[in-house]
Amino acid sequence: MIVKKVREEIARQSTPENMMNMQRWFKEKLDNPIGLKGPIFKKISNQFFKEIKNEPKKQILEYCEEFLASEKGTERGVAFMWADNISDQLTKADFPRLETWLKKYVCHWGACDTLCCGAMGKLVAKYPELYPKVKKWTPSNNRWLRRGAAVSMIPSVKDGKGLKEAFAIADILLTDNDDMVQKGYGWMLKVAGDTFRDEVFKYVMKNKKEMPRTALRYAIEKMPANLKKEAMKKDQ
């Protein structure tokens, strides 16, 4: 079975020189903070995905579910990456499953971004009628749902779509006091600015008095120096 083979390879590669302490990247206390270095983890994921890439979508998603049931972050990462690998096959009917993954299995920003910038975000970009479902996450007490609402819009705005909906999500999250959420919607605005620079700059200038500086800095990071200076200038 492919899941067993992946687990065996992860165990085989889990030598001291291949390991890293993930805890240093996260404020949240991780249950299993020791994981494989990124390039090694990605190599394993890609290596074994090649063996099952021609299997039906349903079967691949079942493999993902088996990985997600594990308490190990590395295995959950494989699940999110494999789902991303078949994102072109996903349909609206798969949204509830991915939403459940976000609610049940995401416990830090790395997992949130892998899922929401990957399979979830690409699905939402493919079916803009899902935007309202994503927006419904914004009042949640779950910080990863709130961050996920913004990050899931990144593939859309990157493709030049969904700006109105992205601004609507930013409006709700504007004064959120969680820095993970601030960075999430700030990142969304930054990516939107690649295509819609004037609109994003106007949005930032309109809201900069209320917008936390963390979100503001993310949003304007890639803008020209003169615009960044104007946005960061405190009103007298």
> Over the stretch 155-165, which tens digit does the pLDDT of each residue have?
999 999 999 99
Residue 88 is predicted with a pLDDT of 96
Structure tokens at 206: 């309109």
Residue 198 is predicted with a pLDDT of 96
Q: b/e string for 104-142 if b means 16 or more Cβ within 10 A?
A: ebbbbbbbbbbbbbbbbbbbbbbeeebbebbbebbeeee
Residue 58 is predicted with a pLDDT of 97
Residue 34 is predicted with a pLDDT of 43
Name residue 39's amino acid.
P
Beta strands in 11-76 (DSSP E): 19-21, 34-36
Ranges in the chain, pLDDT < 50:
21-25, 30, 33-34, 236
Distance CA 28, CA 31 (A): 9
Residues 6 or more apart in contact with residue 58 via CB below 8 angstroms: none
pTM (predicted TM-score): 0.90
Residues 6 or more apart in contact with residue 195 via CB below 8 angstroms: 157, 158, 160
Residue 236 is predicted with a pLDDT of 40
- Residue 124 has, within 13 A of its CA and on its CB side, a CA count of 31
Residue 235 is predicted with a pLDDT of 62
